[in-house]
Structures are given as structure tokens and as C-alpha cells.
Structure 1
Amino acid sequence: MCDSTAVAIDIDALARWLTSMGIDFALPLRLCRIGHGYSNLTYRVADGEGRAWVLRRPPLGHLLDSAHDVVREARIMAALAETDVPVPRILGVATDSEIADGPVVLMEFVGGVIVDTMPIADSLIPEHRRRIATSMPGTLAKIHTVDLPATGLADLAGPGPYAQRQLKRWSGQWERSKTRESPALDALTGRLAASIPVQHEISLVHGDFHLRNLITSPTSGQVISVLDWELSTLGDPLADMGSLLTYWPEPGEPSSGVFEASTLEGFPSRAEMAQLYLDETGRDPATLRYWHTLGLWKLAIIAEGVRRRTLAAPRNESTAGTPTLAHIDALIAKAGEIADTAGI
């Protein structure tokens, strides 16, 4: 959407900010909403000569504590600039209220293919889909080998094992954002809390690693940039693989509202994606179903929060639409099924 009046950004103030940072641009500036994310709002900023940047800001309306922290997200991406993890370059962070009613982050625009709609996924030949998919586990492995002290990210998370922190945080988010009661989700929360695996290592985790958060090469299919670091923290690396599986539906499965590109020919199965990661890292898969279950549980809570936020401020709505109660309940049911098979 390219209606700059709806984005709560002061274009004149944005121009002054770019000038203060020494960024060369030509008027007029134009903002267009991009991406299908349900959380922070992302815009392509284009100038009068066709140059482009990306601007990111929190959603409109009331926000839950610690959520949608674009400044923290920018810090993580800036810290990764000199690592093997491909990320856009952060150009500036503004925390005053001159440009918007909240902080904004400016980053470079990375050209490439984002598989974020079914028409884009359909347009790719099966071999290209496979090249994209098989580059994803290796990219995750790069994230999980980041040197935390060297990047200054060793203090990114609070104390305590990752699973306990996740359960505490997202249970709290559910209580503050739910639009109805869900005995099924409450029961699943209890099962996850009673089955927390022992954490043997700690690494940087992305927290929301899936197709729509990646820019890929139009020729090789390789991941050339990882986006949306809002949920990144320190924790168990297998949690990221569980998150990837959460966003990887297979052909013939009932729809839960999750983007279904992975059901197309060429994209590997969840089992093959997991094996590619395990072969790359040598990690033990024993807890992977726990993290897959927790990933679905977390996604259901996120979707409920998106629903509440969009109902309160319709301008937050993504082009992908608003999650329905049926889709949220389907996620909870799927998580329960995987928990059953894992003995959780």
C-alpha cells in the first residue's frame, strides 16, 4: 500500500533526518508498505531518482511491554554486519517523536526475491524452490555459530533457561492480548511447562525464521539477507529449527492459516529440512518435537495478539489479512497433535 498519509510518518521530518545523516536523495520521497508481517510496520522509501531504503517502525496503537522493539532489533542487525550472517546494513535509528509517534529504523534496501505470496512461489520452477529451501538450514547454522562476546550480544537475554523464559513471556502475552478463553491453549501451556528439556548449549536464535523473512538470490536461490529480528534472543538453537518447521506445512494437511508455499513441488518435507540442519550442525534431534510444539503454541499466541491489535487499530492490518479464530485454533490443535506424538 502506498498511501503515505496512513503510515504516521512525517515525510518532511524524514527528509531532514536523511540529510542530517549525509544520505544523498532527491525529492519527492514516497513510502509504500511492504512485506506481509503482522508486527512491526515496514516501508520501502523511494526517492525521485529511484533509489530506495527500508524504514521500520512499531505498529500503531497500544503496545504490550517489551514488544515491537525496533531499536533492539537494529542493534542486533548492526552487530551482525561483520559476521557470516547476511543482514541489511543499518543506516540510522531515530528515537525522538519528530519523524513518527515512535522510534524508526532506516536500513539499506536489498534487492532479491522474497517468497511471501503464493503467486511468487508459483512463479518459481521446482528446482529453484528447492535451492531456496536447502539454503535455509545452512543460514540457520550461521546464526547459531555467531560469536556472542565478539559481537557484543552476550547480554541480549535475561537469566534462566530459554524454554522457561519463552513460556513465561508468551503466557504473559496471551493473558494480556487474548480475545477469548482457550482451555486447549491453557492445557498445552501446562504440558510444555511440565516437559521442559535440559538446555545443553546457548546461541543466538532468530526466533522467527521462515520464508517470508528471507531475501533470496534471483539466480542461485541462496539466502542473501535475513530480516525481522524482533524476536531474536539467546537460547537453544534447536528452537529455531522448531520455528522453521512451524512455518512449513506439507501437502494434504488441513489449513491453519500458515503460508502454504512449502506445499508446492520442489520444497522438501519437514523431515528433510530438519535432517539438512542436523547434518550441517551435528546436533541431537531428541528435543526437536518439543520445539516444534512450542513454535506452534507461540505462533497461535502471536496470531491472537495480531487479531486483537488489528481489531483495535485497523491500519495495522497486513496485506495477508487478519488471523481468524479458526486458524488460531487449528494451530493449537496441531501443536497438541505433535505434543501427543512426542509424549509431552
Structure 2
Amino acid sequence: MADGVRKDEEFSGTKPVEERHRFDELRLEAWMRDNVEGYEGPLVVLQFKGGQSNPTYRLDTPNRSYVMRRKPFGKLLPSAHAVDREYRVIAALGKQGFPVARAYALCQDDSVIGAAFYIMSMEEGRVFWDPTLPSQNADVRRKIFTSKIETLAKLHMFDPVAIGLGDFGKPGNYFARQIDRWTKQYRASETQHIPEFEKVAEWLPKTVPEQARVSIVHGDYRLDNMIFHATEPRVQAVLDWELSTLGDPMADFTYLLMQWIMPGLEGVDLKALNIP
């Protein structure tokens, strides 16, 4: 149990900005003055410890804190790290009352900090890295899981066209497109030949299930990609929308279910923990 609590503390919170992730803070501040409603400096920049694929920073001012997510510096795989898509989806969902951070502004001009980025509100709350929730009692543990699952169901109930995301992705063949995309991404970054992968890459396209309906899908929906209310067992903001698109909601749901057979929940006594 102590290990799990330590893990929550170790990955949560901030640290000074790493050398390789530094940028011109004065240029950022000047841009925020012009583009972020209500911004008042001075600005203090810290970096979040958690392992995001898009470097993420906490921006503190005397009146308010913000979060900045940016593309990594340097050469990237095609279509990866699309912060503009993240910004668009949280802006649209926020207008519907879905639990996301407030989207303030998007910058696609690399000359400001060296990469595209966006600014959103800093949501104060709790991030849980250990899915057995060792810091919580059995009753609260169940409520946290219930909130997580109900929040995903709510996401899948939105009509993408009605909330301005009708062109956020291709409406059909989500499973086939995922298989094709990830096979290509794997090939683009392959470092050694793995025969088992070749078998899977051959088998998956032959076994693609039919897509029954279309919804917004998060693409990486798991416990540590959400902030929970500081004292209540409910999702306050879903984070990390980098892989979101239009797709089959069952893919999002099965990605969630996969976490029960992975390290973290695999083999634990779910009944004793009161986890569904």
C-alpha cells in the first residue's frame, strides 16, 4: 500500500523545468498578454513530473494558474503530438459541460517557444497513478471507478456533428484505421525484428469487427489521465486528448477494460478492494 501512495506522490506535482524542455519564458509571457483573456503576470514556469508524451508545464501568476501543453521539440512521427486537435476537442466538450479544463488559447507559431502549444486552466484536484487506489477506503474506491466509467459513457453519448466535431475524424472503419496507423507507426520506429509482431500485424486486419456507431473517442482513457475533485470521488477533468478522434466507442471501452488484465489491477483481489 505504501508503494502505491508513494507512486501517487512521485508522479504528481511539479519540478523545475528540465534543461532540454526550456524555452524563452519572456516570449511566452508577451504572447499570453495578447492572447489569453484576463492574463496578468508575472509568470513562474514549472514542469509537471508525470510522463506525458507532450511536455506539460504549470504556469503560475499572482491571480491564477494555467497549464501549457506543447509539441516536443525536434523531428516527430507524422500526425503525432497534435496539440491543435487536443485544444479543439476540449474547447468543444467544455461548452457542453463535460469535465475538461477550460481552453484559453492555441498557438501554432513555432517562433514563440519553438513548438506549437496551447493554454488551458489549471484544475486543482487529485491524480491517481496506482489503479488499486491504496490511499482510499473501499467505498470511495468504488465511487471513483464508477465516476470514471460514467464519464466515459457521457463522452460517447455526444453527437459529434451537434457539438461542432463532425469533421474531427473519419466516421467509419475505426478499427481498420487504428490497425493500419499503429502498424505504420511501429514500422517507422522499429529497432529490431519481432516475429510475434508480424503474426499480429497479419492476423488483425483479417479479424476486424464491424463498426456499429460513431462517437468521440478519447483513445487513452485511463485513471492517470484524469483529475479527480480534491475531496469528492468524481472526475473533475479528463486530460491528454492527443489520440482523440471520431471512432467506435467500443474501442474506447475495451481499452478501459484492458487495464484489468495489465500490471496494476491484474491478479488483485477486486472484491476485497471493492473495485468493479
Query: TM over 0.5, yes or no?
Result: yes
Aligned residues: 259
Helix, strand or coil for the counterpart of 1:110?
A: coil
Judge conservation of contact 2:16–2:46 (CA < 8 Å) in 1.
Answer: yes
**4+ runs of 1 displaced by more than 3 Å?**
259-265
Helix, strand or coil for the counterpart of 1:122?
A: coil
| 1:55-204 correspondence to structure 2 within 5 Å | 55-116=68-129, 121-158=133-170, 160-204=172-216
Change (3 A) 1:223 1:98: same
Name which of 12, 22, 33 aligns with 1:19.
33
Helix, strand or coil for the counterpart of 1:129?
A: helix
Judge conservation of contact 2:99–2:236 (CA < 8 Å) in 1.
Answer: yes
Judge conservation of contact 1:11–1:99 (CA < 8 Å) in 2.
Answer: no
- Residue in 2 that maps onto 1:308: none
Superposition deviation, residue 267 in structure 1: 5.4
AA of the residue aligned to 2:116: P
- Residue in 1 that maps onto 2:9: none
Judge conservation of contact 2:175–2:208 (CA < 8 Å) in 1.
Answer: yes
Superposition deviation, residue 218 in structure 1: 2.8
Change (3 A) 1:99 1:126: farther
| 1:261-300 correspondence to structure 2 within 5 Å | 263=268, 266=273, 268=275, 272=276
Change (3 A) 1:248 1:50: farther
Judge conservation of contact 2:29–2:43 (CA < 8 Å) in 1.
Answer: no
Give the distance between the partners of 1:32 and 1:117, measured in 2 at CA.
21
- Residue in 2 that maps onto 1:44: 58
Question: Would you tell me which structure has more helix in proportion to its own residues?
Answer: 1
Change (3 A) 1:164 1:218: same
Give the distance between the partners of 1:41 and 1:85, measured in 2 at CA.
24
Give the distance between the partners of 2:125 and 2:70, measured in 1 at CA.
22
Superposition deviation, residue 160 in structure 1: 4.1
Q: CA RMSD in A?
A: 2.3
Residues 93-102 or 259-268, more deviating: 259-268
Judge conservation of contact 2:220–2:243 (CA < 8 Å) in 1.
Answer: yes
Q: Which runs of 5+ in 2 are unaligned?
A: 1-14
Judge conservation of contact 1:69–1:230 (CA < 8 Å) in 2.
Answer: yes
Give the distance between the partners of 2:49 and 2:162, measured in 1 at CA.
33
Superposition deviation, residue 30 in structure 1: 2.0
Judge conservation of contact 2:40–2:63 (CA < 8 Å) in 1.
Answer: no
- Residue in 1 that maps onto 2:6: none
AA of the residue aligned to 1:203: S
Change (3 A) 1:239 1:23: same
Deviations 1:244-276 (A, max 9, x none): 1223347xxxx4xxx5599485352xxx4xxxx
Give the distance between the partners of 1:159 and 1:81, measured in 2 at CA.
22
Normalized against structure 1, the TM-score is what? Answer: 0.70
Change (3 A) 1:261 1:227: farther
Superposition deviation, residue 126 in structure 1: 2.8
Q: Which runs of 5+ in 1 are unaligned?
A: 273-344
Normalized against structure 2, the TM-score is what? Answer: 0.86
- Residue in 2 that maps onto 1:35: 50
